[in-house]
Chain A
Amino acid sequence: MIFKTFIKRLFPRSFDNEIYNLRPKDLIIRKSSNHGGFKFGLSLLIIIFLFAIFGPIILDVSPYEQDLTKRLLPPVWKEGGSWEYIFGTDGNGRDYFARILYGTRISLTIGFGAACVGMIIGVSLGVCAGYFGGWVDQVVSYLLTCQLALPGLLLAMTIVFLIGPSITVVIFVIGATHWAFFLVVSRSATQKIKSLDYVTAASAIGASKFQIIIRDIIPNTFSQIIVIFTLEVGIAILNEASLSFLGVGIQPPTPSWGLLIAEGKEAIFFQPWLIILPGIALFTLVVSINMMGDGLRDITDPNSKVSEE
C-alpha cells in the first residue's frame, strides 16, 4: 500500500482513469505497482544495494583489521556476544559484520557483471543463429555443443589459475562460461518471431537486417531474456562463491561470501554462524533477484494479464 501511494505521487499520470490513453511508460509503472512479487523483490534488492554502497561509508568498520585476542566471538544473540561485534568475529579476530557487508559489494558486482557478459555473448550469438539460420546456425550450434560438453567450473578454475585471479578476471570467466541458456532461449525466440508478419512488414518498408534485429526481434525476446538474466545473476553469484571456496576466485583477505564460507568450514561444528550468516545473505540476494525477474517478465510482456487497476 505504501509503495503504491508513493508511486502514485511520483507518477500521477500513470493512474489516470482512461487506461487506453496511457503512454507506454505509464502502463508499465501502473502494472509494476500492482505486482506483489516484483515489488517485494525490487525493494529487497534496493535495500541490499543501499547496504552495499552506503553501509561501509556510514558505519565505521573495517573488514581487514585483525585483533587476535578477540578470535571467534559469537554474534550478539548468542551467549557471550556483544553489540560491538554484531555478527561476532572470525578466526583472525576480524569483524564478521564488516566482512559480510563488504562481501555484498563483491557479490553484486560479480553477479551482475558476469550475467551481463554472458547475456551479450549468448544473445548476440543466439539472435544471429535464429535470424540468419543456415551455416551461421550450424556454427553456433556447434559452439553451444562444445560449451555444454565442457565442465564449466573446471574450465573456469583452469583459466583463473592460468591468468591469475582478480575480480575482473572472475567476472569475465564466469560470464564466458554461462551463455548457453541465453543462446538457447534467444535463438528459439528469434526463430519464432522471424516468421511473424511484422518482421516481413518491416523488411517490406525497407528496414535493414540490423534495424529489424534491434527494433523488432530483440525487444520481443526481452521478456524471456530478462528471466534468464536474473537466473544467471543468481547462478553467477553462487559460482563465484564456489570458485572462491575452492581458492581460485577472490583471494583473501578480500571478503567475498564464498570465501567466508570456505574460511568458516573448519569451524562448522562449533561456530556454525560463520557459515550460516553468509549463507543467509547469499540466499536473500538470489531470491530477491529471482522474484524481481519473474515480476519484470510479467510487466514487460504486453500480453500478460497483470491487473491494470
Chain B
Amino acid sequence: MSDLLNIQNLEISFQSNNKNLKTVENFSIHLNEKESLGIVGESGSGKTLSMLALTRLLPKQASVSSGSIIFQNKNLNELDNKNFYKEISGKKISMIFQEPMTALNPVHTIGKQLLETYLYHNNVSVEKGIERALEILDAVKLPKYKQRMDQYPHQLSGGQRQRVMIALALINNPSLLIADEPTTALDVTVQKEIIQLISDLRETIGMALIFISHDLGVVSQISDNVVVMKNGEIVEKGKTLKVLEKPNHPYTQGLLDCLFKLEDEQKKNQIKDTPIIKVKEISKSYKLPAKIFKKPEIIYAVKKVTFDVKCGETIAIVGESGSGKSTVAKIINGLINKDDGEVEIKGQNIEDIEISDRAKIIQPVFQDPYSTLNPIHTIGYIVSRPLTINENKSESEVKEEVIKTLRLVGLSEDYYNRFPNQLSGGQRQRVAIARAIILKPQILICDEPTSALDVTIQSQILDLLNDLKTKLNITIILISHDISVVKYFSDRIIVMYNGEIIEMGNTNNVINVPKDKYTKRLMSSVFSLKKNDIKFT
C-alpha cells in the first residue's frame, strides 16, 4: 500500500489580543491509501481544527504556524490557494460536516448543488453532470433519487440531507473523505444506517477515510487506526483494537472506563409499590395553520399515553426526536397543558396542585447546558431563586442553603458570584441540578441531561445523579435517546414512537428481548463497545 497522506508536526495557533494561543501542537498522522483513521477527543481537543487546516477551511484568527502536509507525494504547503481549491479541495479531499440541517444551501435545488460541485472540477457537459449526479444519489441510497434533483433541502429529512451531503462529497471520486461527526445530529436509528453507508462506500469507491468523533464506540466500528487527542495534542495512536485493548495513556483509559462503567450494575433505590405518578390516556395535539379551502390539519404530539411511575423508581422514556417524549415530560411537570386525559401526582390532579407546591414535588433538568441558566444572573441568584420564591427564609439562611446544595452537586462556594458564561458545560449542568434539588423535590424529570456533554463529563454527571438519587431518595423520569445511558440508569423503559407508547417493561427485558419492530431497530442501532469484544482479539 502506498502513502496517501502524511502530516508532520502540524501546529495551529490562534491570534487574540496580540497573543499566540497554540491550539494544536505536534500533530502528526500518517495514512495509507484506502485506509481508515478515527480521531477521538472531546470538544476543544483540536480534532476538527487539524482537519480544517488540511482542507484550508480554518477560521480567520487561526493559522498554521508550522508543519508539513504531504498528500499523494505533493507538498500541499507549496500550492497556492487557487490551485488548491481547483485541484485538491472538493476533488481529491472532501469533507462532510456534522449539521446536515445547515450544510446545504436552502435556496438551491439538490441537483443544482450537486452539478455545481461536479462541473467546477470537471470539464464536461451538463448532461454528463446530471448523469453522474443521479448515479451518485443512487449510490448513497437516497430513496426515490430520480425526483430529488429538483427538490429543495427543506423537503428532505435530516438523514436524507446527510445522504445528499455524502453524495456531494463523493461526486468527484475523492481519494480521501473526512467525516466530521457526521452522525451526531441524527437520530440513533438513522445513525447506524449512515455509518454503514459510509463504510460500504469506502470499500466500493476505494478511498481513504478520516472519521472524527467523540464516540469511541462508533470509531471502533469504522476505523483501522485510531488517534486520541486531548488539549490539542495526540496522546495516543495505533491500531484501533490494540489501543482499545491496551491503552497506554491515562486519558484513553479514562475514556474506556466511562464507556465500560455503563455496563456495570448500579445502586438501586428502594422501590415502593405505591405509584407516585399516574398518567392516564393523555393526548396533546397541535393545529397547523389553516390553508384556504382546507380543514386545518391536526398533528398529535402525544396520543393516549398511559403509565404509572412507582415511588423511588427510575423510569426512562426513549424514542427518536419528534416521538413526543419531551412533551410527555412537560405535561407531567405541568409546564404545558394537555388536551385530554389525567395526570395524578401523589393522588392529586396536576392542575389542582398549587404552583408553589408543585415546585416542591417535581423539578426538571434540561438538555442544553448553555440555555438552561439565565446569563444575566449569578450562580448564587439562580440556585437561591426557588427558595426566595417559595419559602420565607432570611438572606443568610438562603445563602447557607445554596452553598450546601452547591457542595452537594460538587461545586465549591467560590462559584456563588460567578456568571454562567464563566462555567464549563458540565459545571453548568451541575448548577442546573442544584437549582432543581434545592427544594428537595421527590420527582426529577431529566430531559437528555447528558447528551450535550463530553463523554468524560457525561459519566461524572450520571454519577452525580445516581448519587443524589439514593441520597435524597428521588424518583427520576429520564428522557434519552442513548440506550447505554438508559441501561445504566433506569429500572424500567418506555419506548415511544410517533406520540404513542409502543413498548414498556423492565430495562433488561426491553433491551435484550425487544418485542416491537421499532424497538428491535432501536436496540440494534447501538454501537456499544463491550469489554468482551476486546478481550476476544
Question: Once the chains are docked, how many angstroms separate the CA of A201 from the CA of B373?
Answer: 9
A24–B359 contact, CB under 8 A?
A: no
A200-B335, A201-B366, A206-B356 known; A303 and B419 CB under 8 Å? no
Q: Could you say which residues of chain A place their CB within 8 Å of the CB of B385?
A: 202, 205, 207, 215
Chain A contact residues, majority secondary structure: helix
A sample of 18 more A-B contacts (CB under 8 A), given A204-B364, A302-B420, is A20-B414, A21-B414, A24-B378, A197-B366, A198-B372, A200-B330, A201-B432, A201-B436, A205-B390, A205-B435, A205-B439, A206-B358, A208-B355, A211-B389, A215-B385, A219-B377, A303-B421, A307-B17
Inter-chain contacts of B358 with A (CB < 8 A): 206
Query: Contacts A20-B422, A23-B417 given: A302-B386 contact, CB under 8 Å?
Result: no
Determine the residue in chain B with the shortest Cβ distance to A199: B374
Q: Which B residues are closer than 8 A to A by beta carbons?
A: 17, 330, 333, 335, 355-356, 358-359, 362-364, 366-368, 371-378, 385-386, 389-390, 414, 417-422, 432, 435-436, 439
Contacts A204-B333, A206-B390; A216 near B374 (Cβ below 8 A): yes
Q: A23-B417, A24-B419 are in contact. Are A198 and B374 (CB under 8 A)?
A: yes
Known: A197-B371, A197-B372, A198-B373. A203 touches B417 (CB 8 A): no
Residues in chain B near residue A24, CB distance under 8 A = 378, 417, 419
- If A22-B417, A197-B366 touch, whether A203 touches B335 (CB-CB below 8 Å) is yes
Residues of A with Cβ closer than 8 Å to B? 20-24, 27, 196-198, 200-208, 211, 215-216, 219-220, 222, 302-303, 307, 309
How far is it, in angstroms, between the C-alpha of A21 and the C-alpha of B374 when the chains are bound?
Answer: 19
What are 9 A-to-B residue pairs whose CB atoms are below 8 Å?
A: A21-B414, A23-B417, A197-B371, A204-B359, A204-B362, A206-B389, A220-B374, A220-B375, A303-B375
Instruction: Using CB atoms, name the residue of chain A closest to B373.
Output: A198
- Chain B residue with minimal CB distance to A301? B375
Distance A208 CA – B371 CA, assembled complex (angstroms) = 20
Other-chain contact of A302, B389, B421, B432 (Cβ < 8 Å)? B421
Q: Which of B330, B368, B386, B422 contacts A206 (CB 8 A)?
A: B386
CB distance from A259 to the nearest CB of B (A): 42
Known interface pairs A22-B417, A200-B335. Does A205 touch B389 (Cβ–Cβ under 8 Å)? yes
Q: Closest CB of chain A to B277's CB: distance in Å?
A: 15
User: What 6 A-B pairs have minimum CB-CB distances, sorted nearest first?
Assistant: A206-B359, A205-B386, A197-B366, A197-B372, A219-B376, A196-B371
Contacts of A197 in B (CB 8 A): 366-368, 371-372
Q: Which residues of B contact A220 (CB under 8 A)?
A: 374-376
Contact: B419 with A27, CB < 8 Å?
Answer: yes
Query: Nearest-CB distance from B285 to chain A (Å)?
Result: 17
